[in-house]
Amino acid sequence: MFKIKKLHIFLLAILLISFIGCTTSVIENEQTEVPRSAEDFPMEIVDSYNRTVLIDSEPQRVISIGPNMTETIFGLGKEDKLVGRSDFCDFPEETENIDTVGSIQEPSIEKIVELKPDIVIVSTHFNKEVIDKIENTGIKIVAFYGDESFEGVYSTIENVGRVLNAKEEAQMVVEEMQEKVEDVLKRVEGRQRPTVYYVVSYGEMGDYTAGGDTFIGKMIEMAGGINAAKDAKGWGYSLEKLIESNPDILICSKYYDSKEGIKNSHGYKDLDAVKNEMIFEIDNNLLDRQGARLAEGLVELAKIIHPEAF
């Protein structure tokens, strides 16, 4: 029962990401910087909600409400500016020393005001109504979330870099990510492509995976695999379809005791991937969070699918 509860939490997090991704159709995904003078500040920037935000001077006190945003800020070397984070911002370990303002969906407005930030940076996981509430307190807030692709992530990183006066650092992060992506693509090119099934949830909580239209599903293809659920949309799947496809490889989260549970789960235990010990664990945060570590997630996927290429 404990394992099921943990899986339930994991599933809800994944479905939340999927739901939010669907809502972006009503949001302008491209973030563009409004032309300004030669000096970086004051600047005007248009965020993912098509809001034009005026930033008078370089922010010194920053609150990040979103794990991908927090990881990006650390990646830019601007973690010294962070005075607040969400409960879910848990990487790197240094985040433990930063005050939390609560959950992503329901942060504490009182705590945010108490921390006196110059700016709050969020993703579109963030409720627009909450953005309005924070803005009404007089605090600057911007939301960045690109298309569900590496290009979208690069755009987000570059925009965070602009806001934090770290454009050069952002460019370096993006270039390093691009190099990792290109390296993976070259390493897996021309190799035989095994079928891969990404286990989001299984058993009593239902069977969920990364469908063909999800970013994780596309990353499996980039890493040299064939997504066994490429015919599915979203995250829902069926055990019958999984048994029929009988994928070569299963990949699951290294958290929640997923691997051992899958090995003994009805239907899964009879798959060739389980019988042949081709079930592997991965840090799902490298795939779920569209931030500076996403290219690492692609590398880890490729190492599982094509270990001979590394």
Q: How many CB atoms lie within 10 A of CB 134?
A: 21
139 CB-near residues (< 8 Å, 6+ apart): 112, 113, 117, 119, 120
Residue 64, classified by CB atoms within 10 Å of its CB into exposed (0-12), middle (13-18) or buried (19+), is: buried
pLDDT band at 174 (very low <50, low <70, confident <90, very high): very high
Q: Which domains, from first to last, does the chain contain?
A: 2-15+190-309 (3.40.50.1980), 31-183 (3.40.50.1980)
In the numeric block, the tokens 């019958």 are attached to 240
Q: What pLDDT digit, counting tens, does each position of 107-139 carry?
A: 999 999 999 999 999 996 788 999 999 999 999
Alpha carbons 20 and 145: distance in angstroms, whole number: 10
User: What's the rounded mean pLDDT across residues 251-271?
Assistant: 90
Q: What pLDDT digit, counting tens, does each position of 196-225 carry?
A: 999 999 988 889 999 999 999 999 999 999
Q: How many CB atoms lie within 10 A of CB 151?
A: 12
